[in-house]
């Protein structure tokens, strides 16, 4: 059994064939999927999908790419919904946008505060911004938890994230030829700190690069981690699934 801890099934890319996408995932052993919100409409759609399908869970947050038009005002009401298991995706992206760093940091801090108040874990996006995100989280060490999703930094930063009480989310890039930094991270970081995800429809793993990503492909991420760690696929799937169940308190799913 595998859990895809990060998929944007609420995006239009999945409007036409969501049922088949879920069926293919289920056949591959994917028994739980977190549908990730990024702003109010996508948060509401994630929750709607999670209510309609047993295997889906939702997150609600404001993504750093949306902070110019979205606020966190609507979030609090959504976080008490039954199948909302995390706050996010939130964080800082200083790759795509650097002219609004202050507002990105403000909106991220508001969501960290919500995590502290509600006890919900954070799903964090960082790009060219690990240190700044770390600085925002440090005052909350021991009070908030979560995952650094689509982790793209090095072992040193991974260890800092783990010291903060966070998991490391790995997806398609671990299968890419030029991913030596991630492969070294996988060698050095204990499986107990890792989650697997797809970031569908993005970050498609080998051998499907160039196509739309979907949760069934998370098996390729699991396989690659198993190969690098010289473990069985079963072992990697079992431990990372249990990590996800524990972090997101996924009731009804047993590891
Ligand atoms: Zn995402």
- Tens of pLDDT, residues 24-83: 999 999 999 999 999 999 999 999 999 999 999 999 999 999 999 899 999 999 999 999
Cα–Cα dist 192/54, whole Å: 26
pLDDT of 251 reads: 75
Write out pLDDT tens, residues 105-164.
999 999 999 999 999 999 999 999 999 999 999 999 999 999 999 999 999 999 999 999
Cα–Cα dist 192/145, whole Å: 15
Å from CA of 176 to ligand 1 middle: 18
DSSP 144: B
Rg (CA), the chain: 17
Å from CA of 201 to ligand 1 middle: 9
Asked if residue 181 belongs to a domain, the reply is yes
**Token code pair at residue 37:** 């919100």
pLDDT band at 242 (very low <50, low <70, confident <90, very high): very high
pLDDT of 253 reads: 65
Per-residue burial over 50-69, b = 16 or more CB atoms within 10 Å of its CB, e = otherwise:
beebebbbbbbbbbbbbbee
Judge whether 31 and 216 are in contact, CB under 8 Å: no
- The residue-averaged pLDDT of 230-250 equals 98
Asked if residue 91 belongs to a domain, the reply is yes
Å from CA of 87 to ligand 1 middle: 12
Å from CA of 88 to ligand 1 middle: 9
pLDDT band at 254 (very low <50, low <70, confident <90, very high): low
Å from CA of 9 to ligand 1 middle: 10
User: Is residue 14 predicted with pLDDT exceeding 70?
Assistant: yes
Asked if residue 21 belongs to a domain, the reply is yes
Sign of CA dihedral 232, 19, 41, 44: negative
Å from CA of 239 to ligand 1 middle: 22
CATH number at residue 131: 3.20.20.140
Å from CA of 171 to ligand 1 middle: 11
Asked if residue 176 belongs to a domain, the reply is yes
User: Is residue 231 predicted with pLDDT exceeding 50?
Assistant: yes
Asked if residue 253 belongs to a domain, the reply is no
Number of domains making up the chain = 1
Q: Taking all residues of the chain, what is their mean pLDDT, rounded to a whole number?
A: 96
pLDDT of 255 reads: 47
DSSP H stretches of helix in the chain = 18-27, 40-52, 75-79, 101-118, 130-137, 155-163, 180-188, 218-229, 233-248
Cα–Cα dist 106/125, whole Å: 15
Å from CA of 82 to ligand 1 middle: 21
Å from CA of 104 to ligand 1 middle: 16
Cα–Cα dist 157/148, whole Å: 10
CA 237 vs CA 120, 231, 233: distances in Å: 24, 10, 6
Write out pLDDT tens, residues 162-189.
999 999 999 999 999 999 999 999 999 9
Å from CA of 215 to ligand 1 middle: 13
Strand arrangement of the beta sheet that strand 122-127 belongs to: 2-7, 30-35, 56-60, 84-93, 122-127, 146-148, 166-170, 194-196
Å from CA of 149 to ligand 1 middle: 8
Domain limits at 90? 2-248
């Amino acid at each position: 059994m595998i859990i895809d801890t990060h998929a944007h099934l609420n995006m239009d890319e999945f409007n036409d064939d969501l049922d088949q996408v879920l069926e293919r995932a289920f056949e591959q052993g994917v028994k739980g999927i977190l549908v990730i919100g990024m702003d109010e409409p996508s948060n509401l759609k994630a929750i709607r999908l999670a209510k309609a399908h047993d295997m889906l869970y939702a997150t609600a947050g404001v993504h750093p790419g949306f902070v110019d038009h979205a606020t966190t005002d609507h979030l609090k009401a959504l976080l008490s919904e039954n199948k909302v298991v995390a706050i996010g995706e939130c964080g800082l992206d200083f790759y795509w946008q650097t002219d609004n760093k202050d507002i990105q940091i403000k909106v991220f801090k508001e969501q960290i505060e919500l995590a502290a108040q509600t006890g919900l874990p954070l799903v964090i996006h960082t790009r060219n911004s690990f240190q700044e995100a770390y600085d925002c989280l440090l005052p909350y060490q021991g009070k908030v938890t979560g995952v650094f999703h689509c982790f793209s930094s090095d072992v040193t930063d991974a260890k800092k994230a783990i010291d903060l009480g966070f998991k490391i989310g790995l997806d398609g890039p671990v299968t890419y030829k030029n991913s030596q930094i991630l492969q070294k991270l996988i060698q050095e970081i204990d499986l107990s700190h890792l989650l697997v995800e797809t970031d569908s429809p993005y970050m498609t793993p080998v051998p499907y690069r160039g196509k739309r990503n979907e949760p069934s492909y998370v098996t390729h991420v699991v396989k690659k981690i198993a190969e690098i760690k010289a473990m069985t696929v079963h072992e990697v799937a079992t431990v990372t699934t249990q990590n996800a169940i524990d972090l997101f308190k996924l009731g009804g799913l047993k590891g």
